[in-house]
Amino acid sequence: MAFKAEIKSLKNEVAKEAPSIIHKAGKPYSTKVVSVDTLVGPKGGLGEVCHIILDHGGLFHFVEGQYLGVILHPDDDDDSLHTPFRVIIHAFSIASCRDGDSFDGEKLSLCVRRAELSPHDASNFLCNRKEGDEVDIIGPFAKTMVFPENPEAMHIMVATATGIAPFRSNIQRLFVDPQVPKGKFNGLAWLINGADNYNTLLYNKEFTCILKDNIDHFRYETALNNSVADRIYENGDEIFTLLDEGAYIYFAGSKTMMPGILETFQKMAKERGVIWEEMLARLKKNNQWRVEVY
């Protein structure tokens, strides 16, 4: 599908308001809700987080790491945002591989946190859906979290909260999707999964199971109290070595994690006699440093 989009924000979802994209051309896809399951309850510290499966009938084609737009139809008394040529949609990262959790190529999953402060937000709209409800989507968009098609590549992923979505999508494709030949990926996928506490560690059991079966190519670490910067520092030597060897490093989740992470990298660089500003510029130039935060 051809379209033009003006991207206002590149976010997974946020507790106050879902990010918006102004879409000027293209027809949305109609999907039906298969299930809405609660990953974390409303009193879990993170707030309620839902795993939502949508059936697109095999018509919505995307690759791992991309996001889509969910269209909220306006109230009858407020159609100011909608015209035949201008529609406001809200962006959510896709949390499943292209074949979906059931690997039939007809479904996709979203990881959505309910927006407690904005009752009419798109996040709440999704969390309130029931089986069989229709949800209009559009896209897919972006390539920041899309892994290069290199079976030998090394990927370091750092996530907090629902920022885990694009990483689950990629990891599912690399290690779980039966449509991908077993052993095709010979590189490294290293995930640092950050959360407030153990109960809000999204998809933890799933990643732990994947680790048991793919110990040579998948590495999984958790960072409780959202201490992802501390976990990075503890593994500083290995991370710097991997980056020097061409590894990609990805950050997804709350934008509040980035200042601490940048300070940590600057500290690690200084300890190793490296000028951090020059190193960061090189990583960005080589497309090794990838950030998608909200």
Report how far residue 73's alpha carbon sits from residue 96's, in angstroms, rounded to the nearest whole number.
25
Average pLDDT, the chain: 87
Same domain, 162 and 78: no
Q: Tell me, what CATH number does 272's domain have?
A: 3.40.50.80
Q: What's the number of domains the chain is made of?
A: 2
What pLDDT score does 220 carry? 99
pLDDT band at 16 (very low <50, low <70, confident <90, very high): very low
Q: Global pTM? A: 0.87
Ranges 12-21, 174-183, 234-243: which has the least confidence: 12-21
Mean local confidence (pLDDT), 241-262: 97
Residue 225 resides in a domain: yes
Known binder of ligand: residue 149?
no
Identify the CATH number of the domain in which residue 109 sits: 2.40.30.10
Judge whether 131 is annotated as a binding position: no
Rounded Cα distance, 202 and 39, in Å:
7
SS3 per residue for 278-289: HHHHHHHHCCCE
Establish whether 113 is an annotated binding residue: yes
Helix (H, G, I), strand (E, B) or coil at 106: coil
- Token pair belonging to 289: 């440093």
Say whether pLDDT at 247 is over 70.
yes
Q: What is the pLDDT of residue 44?
A: 65
Task: For residue 293, list its beta bridge partners.
Answer: 253
Same domain, 109 and 187: no
Task: State the pairing for strand pair 154-160/248-253.
Answer: parallel
Confidence bin at 225 (pLDDT 50/70/90): confident
Q: Is residue 147 part of a domain?
A: no
Range from 7-11, 24-28, 226-230 carrying the lowest mean pLDDT:
7-11
Query: Is residue 146 included in any domain, yes or no?
Result: no
Give the pLDDT band of residue 41 (cuts 50, 70, 90): confident
Domain containing residue 17? 5-141
Output 82 or 141, whichever has higher pLDDT: 141
Measure the CA angle with vertex 114, ends 110 and 117; round to 5°: 145
Q: What is the pLDDT of residue 88?
A: 61
Residue 83 lies in a domain: yes
Section 124-152 average pLDDT? 96
Residue 6 has pLDDT above 80, yes or no: no
Examine the domain organization and report whether 220 and 274 are in the same domain.
Answer: yes
Q: Where are the alpha helices (DSSP H) in the chain?
A: 122-127, 165-175, 204-213, 228-234, 236-244, 258-271, 276-285
Average pLDDT on 242-260 reads 97
> What totals of helices (H) and strands (E) does the chain contain, helices first?
7, 13
Residue 222 has pLDDT above 90, yes or no: yes
The token pair at 240 is 């710097």
When pLDDT is averaged across residues 262-269 and rounded to a whole number, the result is 98
Identify the domain boundary among 86, 112, 141.
Answer: 141
What's the pLDDT at 194? 96
Asked if residue 256 belongs to a known ligand binding site, the reply is no
pLDDT, average across residues 222-242: 95
Specify whether the backbone of 188 is left (phi greater than 0), alpha (psi in -120 to 50) or beta.
beta
Same domain, 18 and 135: yes
% of the chain with per-residue pLDDT over 90: 75
Mean pLDDT of 165-169: 99
246 sits in the region (left: phi over 0; alpha: psi -120 to 50; else beta) called left
Burial (CB count <10 Å: 0-12, 13-18, 19+), residue 7: middle
161 lies in some domain: yes
Looking at the fold, whether 107 and 130 belong to one and the same domain comes out as yes
pLDDT at 209 over 70: yes
Write down the pLDDT at residue 118. Answer: 66
Q: Which two tokens stand for residue 278?
A: 């020059």
